[in-house]
Amino acid sequence: MTSPREPSQAPAQEGSPPGGRSTTAGRIVRKVASAVLIVLTCVLVPVSVLTVWVHDIVLDTDRYVATVKPLASDPAIEDAARNRIVQAVDVRVDGKRATAELAAWLQSQGLPPTAARAVRGLAPQLDAAVTGAADKVATRFVRSDRFEKVWTSANRAAHTAVVHALTGKGRGAVGVDEGTVTLDVGTAVDRVKQELVDAGLTPAANIPDVNKQMVLFKSDQLKRMQSAAHALDVVGTWMPVLTVVLGAAGVFLAYGRRRALAKTALGAAGAALIVAIGLVVARHYYLDHLPPQVQSEAAAAAVFDHLLHFLRVTLRTVIVLGVVVALGAYFVGPGRGARAVRTRSEHTADSVARWADAHDIRTGRVGTWTADNRRRLTIGFLLLLALLFALWNHPTVLTVLLLVLVFLAVLAVIALVAASGRRERAAGAPVAD
C-alpha cells in the first residue's frame, strides 16, 4: 500500500539525509560548510606533504642519511670536493718559497749563482707537480668507498645539527649560518695530506691549517624558509591527520557525497601539481641566482635535487592517488560511461560463470553468500586497502598502482564468484519451490 505522503516527496538526492526535510537555511549552511572544508582540505594537502617531508628530514636519521648518501657518489659533488681539497693543499705548499730556500741552501754549499737561479725557476714546475699529485690523490679518494664512508659517517654523526639546517641551527659536518650552508671537508683534506706524505711528498707534512669549509649553497631567503619549516615541524605530526579529518567531514556534509569525494580528490591532486610545478620554477630561479660563494653550480643543483627527492616522490604519489580516487568515484556513479563499464563487467562475469557451470565448476554456498554480501565485501576490502596505504612506510606511485591492481583483481574475483552464486541460485530455485 502506498503512503499518502509519498507523492509529495521529491526524489532524494545522492547522499541526502532520509526524508529530505532539511530547511532551506540548513541546506545552505551545510553546503557552504562542505565547500569550505573541501577547499581547505585541498589547500592543506600540499602543506601536509611539506610537513611530512620536513618532519622526516628532521627527525628520522635513517631517512636523512638515505637522502644525502647518494650525494657522495654524485659526479658534481665529487668534483666540487676534489677541487676544494686540491685548493686547500695548494694553499699550504708555497713552491716559490720552497725553491728559494733550497737554492739558498745549495748556494751556501757552493752551488754557482746561475745554477741557484735555475733552481729558483723551478717554482712553477714544483707548484704544478704538487697540484697534479694532489689532484690525482684527491680524485682517487673522492671516487673511492672511503669518501662515501666519510661522507655518510659525518652526516650520521652530525645528524642532530644537519637536520636542523632548515631551522638555522646547523653544526658539524654541514652547517648553516646566515643563510649559507657549508660542508666541512677537513677530514677529507687531512686524509689527502697523509696520502701525499705516504706517497713521498714530505713537504705536505708541513701544510698548515686553512679554511676547510665548502659552500654548498647560499640564499637570503633561507632564514625565512627556516622559520616556515620550523612552524611546519611543530605541527608535523597532526597536520596530515587534521587534513584527512577535514576532508572526510567535507565529503560527509555534502549532499552529493560521491561527487564531493571526486572533487576533493581532484582538488588535492591539482594543489599537489601546483606545488610540484612551483618546485621546478624555484629550482631554475635558485640556480640562476647563485651567489659567487657557491663554488659549483652542478653541486648546488645536486644538493637541491637530492634534498627534495622524497618530497617530489610524495607529490607525485598524491597526484596519482587523487586521480585514482576520482576515477573510482566516477565509475561507481550513474554516468553513461560508468554504467557501460559496469554492465560489460557483469556480462563478462556471467559468461565466465556459464562456462564454469558447463564444466561442472561451482562455488556452492560461498557463491550465494558472496552474491548476497557483495557490497559489504567490496567496501570492507576497500577500507582494508585504505588502512594498508595509511600504514605504508613512505608510499610511492608504484604503491598506489600496486594497491589499485590488487583491488581490481579482488573485484574481479568477487564478481565471478557472485555471478556463479546467482546462477546456482537461479538454477536451484524451481527445486526449492
| pLDDT tens-place string over residues 187-246 | 566 666 666 667 666 666 666 555 555 555 555 555 666 666 666 567 777 888 899 999
At 218 the three-state DSSP class reads: strand
At 216 the three-state DSSP class reads: strand
Q: What is the DSSP string of 69-80?
A: GGGGG-HHHHHH
**What sign does the CA torsion over 381, 337, 324, 239 have?**
negative
| More confident of the two residues 382 and 229 | 382
| Residue (of 244, 305, 303) closest to 42 by Cα position | 244
| Residue (of 233, 267, 238) closest to 250 by Cα position | 267
DSSP label of 18: T
**What Cα–Cα distance (Å) separates residue 239 from each residue in 262, 283, 389?**
22, 26, 17
DSSP label of 392: S
The per-residue pLDDT for range 319-356, each reduced to its tens digit, is: 999 999 999 999 988 888 989 998 999 999 999 988 98
The per-residue pLDDT for range 77-100, each reduced to its tens digit, is: 777 777 777 666 655 555 566 666
At 426 the three-state DSSP class reads: helix
| Residue (of 74, 433, 418, 47) closest to 236 by Cα position | 47
Which pTM value belongs to this model? 0.65
| Cα–Cα distance for residue pair 394/400, rounded to 1 Å | 11
Question: pLDDT value at position 263?
Answer: 93
**Secondary structure tally for the chain: helices H, strands E:** 18, 3
At 151 the three-state DSSP class reads: helix
| More confident of the two residues 19 and 71 | 71
| Cα–Cα distance for residue pair 123/393, rounded to 1 Å | 59
Ramachandran assignment for 110, one of left (phi > 0), alpha (psi -120 to 50 degrees), beta (any other): left
The per-residue pLDDT for range 242-267, each reduced to its tens digit, is: 999 999 999 999 988 899 999 999 99
Work out the widest C-alpha separation in the chain, in whole angstroms.
132
| Residue (of 278, 131, 263, 107) closest to 192 by Cα position | 131
Strand-pairing partners, residue 175, are 182
| Residue 37 and residue 247 in contact, taking contact as beta carbons nearer than 8 Å | yes
pLDDT at 64 over 80: no
How many residues make up the chain in this entry? 433
